[in-house]
């Protein structure tokens, strides 16, 4: 079990590794309760070290988001859908689950707004930028099959169904491959949007509203990437020559 967790920690994030620990402990408890193991071995599974607010959000370098968008051949039905997904995430910072849960009735074309359904059934309204609206309109008019299904984004192959949240990162990774860039998940686009806003001088509270953070402390993580501001407020080291 220890060897497995060490391998997983090298392969996945801290949060995912902690999830593996919880899964293993649940399995061991189940085996013990069912009488399949003579001892309760949950304490034999070591915890994974990881602390809140220690990581630095990773943004894509300048110009790479546009390269991802440009990599989509919008004459291809799948890539036209993928372009609409990518521009939603890149311009509005949508989470994967918000993209997957977006339904036709959530788009208010008259007022130029969309309703997002995210964590804990929370709903948020967001303005719909012109380029995002155009990409959505083209996808809905020219690519999305005629069906009674309500999700905006559907699978490209039968049986038709709404996309899963994990497909959004698959879309991002495929775009990275086409653009010749290192692979990145969809959340990297969200980090990139927040980082660009911060560098343009947008206040953290406003960035938090765009990203729909409930806690400003979550948004404050992005202050770590604004090195110019951090240098300006840093106190000199005692005895340092000025």
**Separation of alpha carbons 91 and 114, rounded Å:** 13
* Over residues 116-135, mean pLDDT: 84
Predicted local confidence at residue 233, as pLDDT: 41
**Closest by CA position to 86, among listed 179, 3, 168, 193:** 168
**Separation of alpha carbons 92 and 99, rounded Å:** 11
Q: Which of 18, 74, 213, 224 is catalytic?
A: 213
Question: Which stretches of 34-92 are DSSP H helices?
Answer: 64-70, 77-92
| Interior angle at CA 235, CA 234 and CA 239, nearest 5 | 140
pTM equals 0.71
Beta strands in 143-234 (DSSP E): none
Q: Which of 119, 160, 161, 203 is catalytic?
A: 119
- The answer, yes or no, to whether the previous bond of 159 is cis (omega within 30 of 0) is yes
Predicted local confidence at residue 225, as pLDDT: 58
pLDDT digits (tens, 9 = 90+) for 18-64: 888 899 999 999 999 999 999 998 988 888 876 555 556 688 988 99
Residue 150 a catalytic site member = no
My answer on whether 140 and 106 are in the same domain is: yes
| Residue 136 predicted with pLDDT over 60 | yes
My answer on whether 181 and 119 are in the same domain is: yes
Residue 162 maps to which CATH number? 1.10.443.10
My answer on whether 37 and 96 are in the same domain is: no
Residue 7 a catalytic site member = no
Task: Give domain status of residue 203, yes or no.
Answer: no
Residue 32 a catalytic site member = no
Assigned token pair, 219: 């948004």
| Residue 235 predicted with pLDDT over 90 | no
Asked if residues 184 and 173 have their Cβ atoms less than 8 Å apart, the reply is yes
Q: What's the domain count of the chain? A: 2
Q: Which of 25, 188, 190, 191 is catalytic?
A: 190
Asked if residues 96 and 186 have their Cβ atoms less than 8 Å apart, the reply is yes
Residue 190 a catalytic site member = yes
Q: Tell me which of 171, 186, 201 is where a domain ends.
A: 186
Task: Give domain status of residue 231, yes or no.
Answer: no
**Closest by CA position to 132, among listed 168, 166, 165, 94:** 94
With the CA atoms of 194, 196, 200 and 206 taken in that order, what torsion angle do they form, in degrees rounded to the nearest 10?
-10
Asked if residues 143 and 77 have their Cβ atoms less than 8 Å apart, the reply is yes
Q: Which of 187, 199, 212, 224 is catalytic?
A: 187
Residue 178 a catalytic site member = no
Q: Decide: helix, strand or coil at residue 154.
A: strand
**Separation of alpha carbons 99 and 115, rounded Å:** 11
Residue 230 binned pLDDT confidence (cut-offs 50, 70, 90): very low
My answer on whether 93 and 165 are in the same domain is: yes
Task: Give domain status of residue 108, yes or no.
Answer: yes
* Over residues 121-149, mean pLDDT: 91
Q: Which of 9, 20, 95, 101 is catalytic?
A: 95
Question: What DSSP string describes 22-42?
Answer: HHHHHHHHHHHHTTSSSS--G
The number of helix segments (H) and strand segments (E) in the chain equals 11, 3
Q: Tell me which of 137, 153, 186 is where a domain ends.
A: 186
Full domain range(s) for residue 144: 69-186
My answer on whether 182 and 90 are in the same domain is: yes
Residue 224 a catalytic site member = no
């Amino acid at each position: 079990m220890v060897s497995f967790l060490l391998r997983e920690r090298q392969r996945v994030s801290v949060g995912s590794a902690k999830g593996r620990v919880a899964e293993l402990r649940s399995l061991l408890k189940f085996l013990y309760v069912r009488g399949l193991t003579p001892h309760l071995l949950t304490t034999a599974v070591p915890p994974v070290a990881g602390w809140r607010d220690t990581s630095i959000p990773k943004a894509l370098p300048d110009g790479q988001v546009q390269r991802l968008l440009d990599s989509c051949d919008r004459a291809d039905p799948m890539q036209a859908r993928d372009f609409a997904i990518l521009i939603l995430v890149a311009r509005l910072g949508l989470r994967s689950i918000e993209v997957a849960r977006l339904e036709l009735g959530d788009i208010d074309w008259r007022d130029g707004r969309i309703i997002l359904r995210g964590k804990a059934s929370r709903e948020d309204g967001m303005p719909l930028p012109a380029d995002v609206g155009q990409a959505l309109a083209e996808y809905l008019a020219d690519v999305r099959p005629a069906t009674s299904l309500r999700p905006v984004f559907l699978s490209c192959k039968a049986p038709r169904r709404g996309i899963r949240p994990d497909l959004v990162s698959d879309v991002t990774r495929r775009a990275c491959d086409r653009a010749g860039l290192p692979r990145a998940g969809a959340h990297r686009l969200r980090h990139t949007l927040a980082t660009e806003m911060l560098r343009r001088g947008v206040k953290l509270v406003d960035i938090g509203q765009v990203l729909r953070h409930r806690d400003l402390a979550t948004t404050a993580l992005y202050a770590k990437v604004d090195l110019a501001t951090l240098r300006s407020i840093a106190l000199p080291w005692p005895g340092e020559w000025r």
